[in-house]
Amino acid sequence: MVTIDFLGPIQKPSLELEINNLNELAKILQEDSELSEWLQNCAVAVNDTLVSSLEVTLNDGDKVSLLPPVCGG
């Protein structure tokens, strides 16, 4: 099971999904119309490390985080 966390202002509860890679996650999340804008502007981290490609294998217990646009300070 992979946990999906939606950070900051997305205001969506975490998901637990049986997926093997980020491509599968993209397909699932793209079916949720409430997420469409967030998917265009969120960065993605796997186990708290930012990733730059969907070609990432996911294992049981992994955590994927979606990080919306930031504004610290």
Verify binding: residue 65, other proteins, rule CB under 8 A.
yes
Interface characters, 7-46, with other proteins (x: CB under 8 A)? xxx------------xx-xxx-xx-----x--xxxxxxx-
* CA 58 – CA 24 distance, rounded (Å): 10
Verify binding: residue 52, other proteins, rule CB under 8 A.
yes
Give yes or no for a contact between 14 and 5, defined as CB atoms under 8 angstroms apart: yes
Amino acid at 3: T
Give yes or no for a contact between 3 and 64, defined as CB atoms under 8 angstroms apart: yes
Residues that bind other proteins (CB under 8 A): 7-9, 22-23, 25-27, 29-30, 36, 39-45, 48-54, 65-73
